[in-house]
């Protein structure tokens, strides 16, 4: 059983959190929501789901986790400017553990400088940012590059979830 961190702030894309989160739990893994503060309420941008954070980023230790998932929407913009979130993602990468981001999720990866030399995809609006971060951009539903998994939009969730679960099992 893997322990998977989900990085979250309000404004996330509802299905990009809900579907991977539920799939990870249904597969028997532990899912922990990490936000800017412990116990913070995070609301989806469409208002269909909301979550409370289990842990604040300052308390998060990469040694305690096997993977991190970063849903898209506008939440990654709030997360990427937090030093503790960036540190956590860098440490996960340094340990060679799985980092998965969909839509705008790779914005956090850009700030943590973990895309350099990797292949990646993302929401089209941040394509140039991904390229400038040193990644080889690919317009595909899911791209797996070593320990990094990326997808573009909610339409890509089945492939995104499939690859996450394949890496965890």
Contacts of 93 by beta carbon, 8 Å cutoff, 6+ apart:
99, 112, 114, 147
Contacts of 57 by beta carbon, 8 Å cutoff, 6+ apart:
34, 35, 36, 82, 84, 85, 88
Residue where the block lists tokens 């913070």: 40
The catalytically annotated residue of 29, 42, 104, 122 is 104
Q: Is 103 a known active-site residue?
A: yes
**CA distance readout (Å), 167 to 30, 108, 139:** 15, 20, 21
Closest CA relative to residue 49, chosen from 21, 68, 78: 21
Task: Give the span between the Cα atoms of 109 and 14, in whole angstroms.
Answer: 20
Strand partners, 42: 51
51, 33 contact by CB (below 8 A): yes
The catalytically annotated residue of 29, 42, 103, 122 is 103
Q: Is 42 a known active-site residue?
A: no
The residues annotated as belonging to the active site are: 103-104
């Amino acid at each position: 059983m893997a322990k998977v961190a989900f990085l979250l702030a309000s404004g996330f894309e509802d299905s990009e959190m809900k579907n991977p989160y539920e799939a990870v739990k249904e597969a028997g893994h532990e899912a922990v929501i990490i936000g800017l503060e412990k116990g913070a309420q995070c609301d989806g941008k469409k208002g269909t789901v909301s979550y409370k954070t289990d842990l604040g980023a300052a308390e998060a230790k990469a040694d305690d986790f096997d993977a991190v998932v970063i849903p898209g929407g506008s939440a990654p913009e709030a997360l990427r400017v937090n030093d503790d979130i960036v540190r956590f993602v860098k440490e996960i990468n340094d340990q060679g553990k799985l980092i998965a981001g969909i839509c705008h999720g790779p914005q956090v990866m850009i700030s943590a400088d973990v895309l350099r030399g990797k292949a990646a995809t993302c929401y089209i609006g941040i394509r140039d940012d991904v390229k400038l971060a040193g990644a080889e951009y690919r317009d595909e539903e899911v791209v797996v590059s070593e320990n990094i998994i990326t997808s573009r939009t909610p339409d890509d969730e089945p492939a995104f979830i499939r690859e996450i679960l394949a890496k965890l099992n």
